[in-house]
A and B are shown apart, each in its own frame.
Chain A
Amino acid sequence: MIEDFAQIMVLLIIISTAYLAIKLKDLLGAVISLSIMSLLLSLEFYILQAPDVAIAEAGIGAGLTTAIYVLAIRGTKRMEEG
Chain B
Amino acid sequence: MNKKIGFLAFAVVFVFLFLSAMYMHPFGEPNEKDMDNHFIEKGQNDTGANNIVTSVVFDYRGYDTLGEATVLFTAVTGVAVAFSMAYGKKKEMKEMSKIVRTVTNILYSFIIIFGFYIIMHGHLTPGGGFQGGAVVASAFALLVISYSALKIKGILKKENFSVSECSGLFAFIALAFLGISTAFFYNFLAGGTVFGNIPAGINPGDLNTGGVIPLMNIAVGVEVLSGIGLIILYMFTYGKEAKE
Contacts and interface: CB of A to CB of B under 8 A. Distances in A.
A60 B129 CA distance: 13
Given A55-B118, A55-B126, A72-B239, A67 B232 contact: yes
A75 B138 contact: no
Nearest to A60: B134
Interface residues of B, number: 23
A35 to B, nearest CB: 13
Interface string B211-244: 0000000000000000010011001100110110
19 contacts: A52-B127, A52-B128, A54-B126, A55-B118, A55-B126, A59-B131, A59-B135, A59-B138, A64-B137, A64-B141, A67-B141, A68-B235, A71-B232, A71-B236, A72-B235, A72-B239, A74-B239, A75-B240, A75-B243
Interface string B4-15: 000000000000
* Chain A interface, DSSP helix/strand/loop, else mixed: helix
A56 interface: yes
Interface in A50-79: 51-52, 54-56, 59-60, 63-64, 67-68, 71-72, 74-76
Interface in A37-55: 51-52, 54-55
A55 B133 CA distance: 11
A12 B135 CA distance: 29
Contacts of B127: 52, 55
Interface of A: 51-52, 54-56, 59-60, 63-64, 67-68, 71-72, 74-76
The 6 A-B residue pairs with the shortest CB-CB distance in the complex, in nearest-first order: A75-B239, A59-B134, A51-B126, A71-B235, A55-B131, A75-B242
B136 to A, nearest CB: 10
Contact of B138 (A54, A64, A72): A64
Nearest to B242: A75
A51 B51 CA distance: 11
Nearest to A50: B53
Nearest to B54: A52
B58 interface: no
Contacts of B228: 64
Nearest to B234: A71
B149 to A, nearest CB: 11
B186 interface: no
B239 A56 contact: no
Nearest to B57: A52
Nearest to A56: B131
B116 interface: no
Nearest to B235: A71
Contact of A52 (B53, B141, B231, B240): B53
Interface in B34-73: 51, 53-54
A56 B54 CA distance: 13
B130 interface: yes
